[in-house]
Amino acid sequence: MRHLILTAALMFPMAAFAAGSSDSSPPEPTKTTKVCKDGKIWDETTKSCADAKESRLDDDTRYAAVRELAYAGKYGDALYVLAAMSDQSESRVLTYYGFTHRKAGRADLGMQYYQAALKADPDNLLARSYMGQGLVAAGDIKAAKVQLAEIEARGGKSSWPETSLRKAIQTGRTYSY
């Protein structure tokens, strides 16, 4: 099974690591975006909407909710859920802050979060990809190519972060998931 997953990832590089997950497709709407409001996320255990700060929710549940909320354009709710994460200095949390702020139109603040994510973990390929995509959107192709080179140098050749940034540089189109 592991061999099949690796083979698929190599054959379809866009199918790996999108927005911090192993899924390159946009997140499917769940009750988090269909039913819950004001920073609440669907809790499968209780079959109800729960405040993101509920101690019974784990960070992986929160990450999935952030990804779904950000993709749905619910940036305020995504930021609320991010604020509930247990480790605010973790590179993955900082990357999500950067992504959410950038997609909400606060590109400069998003870039600050990407820089903090890379300071915490220079090998965070997703942060490099999203930073590079932000640079593409700002018209700074030269700086985006620097991030692409860093991704490749850090073992990310043919990964989703490398492929999506390369395509963004070539086409000017960035990715939201």
Both 115 and 173 in one domain: the answer is yes
Q: 39 is in which domain, residue-wise?
A: 1-16+23-86
Last residue of a domain, one of 86, 107, 129: 86
DSSP 3-22: HHHHHHHHH-GGGS-GGGSS
Confirm if 128 and 146 have CB atoms less than 8 A apart: no
Last residue of a domain, one of 38, 61, 86: 86
Mean pLDDT check: name the lowest of 16-20, 67-71, 138-142.
Answer: 16-20
Residue bearing tokens 């379809």: 12
Both 93 and 177 in one domain: the answer is yes
**CA atoms of 81 and 63, how far apart (whole Å):** 8
Tens digit of pLDDT for each residue in 23-37?
Answer: 567 789 999 999 999
CA 60 to chain centre: 13
> Which two three-digit tokens encode residue 150?
């860093």
**CA atoms of 132 and 135, how far apart (whole Å):** 5
Residues 62-76, mean pLDDT to the nearest whole number? 93
**3-27 core/surface letters (b: 16 or more CB in 10 A; e: else):** eeeeeebeeebbbbbbbbbebbeeb
pLDDT of residue 83: 96
Question: Where are any strands of DSSP class E within the chain?
Answer: 40-43, 48-51
Last residue of a domain, one of 86, 110, 131: 86
In angstroms, the Cα distances linking 163 to 125, 151, 176 are 11, 10, 14
pLDDT of residue 161: 94
Tens digit of pLDDT for each residue in 94-116?
Answer: 999 999 999 999 999 999 999 99
Residues 167-172, mean pLDDT to the nearest whole number? 96
Both 79 and 94 in one domain: the answer is no
pLDDT at 4 over 50: no
Both 100 and 120 in one domain: the answer is yes
Number of structural domains in the chain: 2
Both 165 and 139 in one domain: the answer is yes
CA 115 to chain centre: 14
Both 38 and 94 in one domain: the answer is no
- Percent of the chain past pLDDT 70, that is, above it, reads 85
What's the mean pLDDT when you consider all of the chain? Answer: 87
Both 113 and 82 in one domain: the answer is no
Confirm if 13 and 162 have CB atoms less than 8 A apart: yes
Both 75 and 93 in one domain: the answer is no
Both 93 and 150 in one domain: the answer is yes
Both 98 and 146 in one domain: the answer is yes
**CA atoms of 37 and 150, how far apart (whole Å):** 39
Both 106 and 167 in one domain: the answer is yes
Both 101 and 71 in one domain: the answer is no
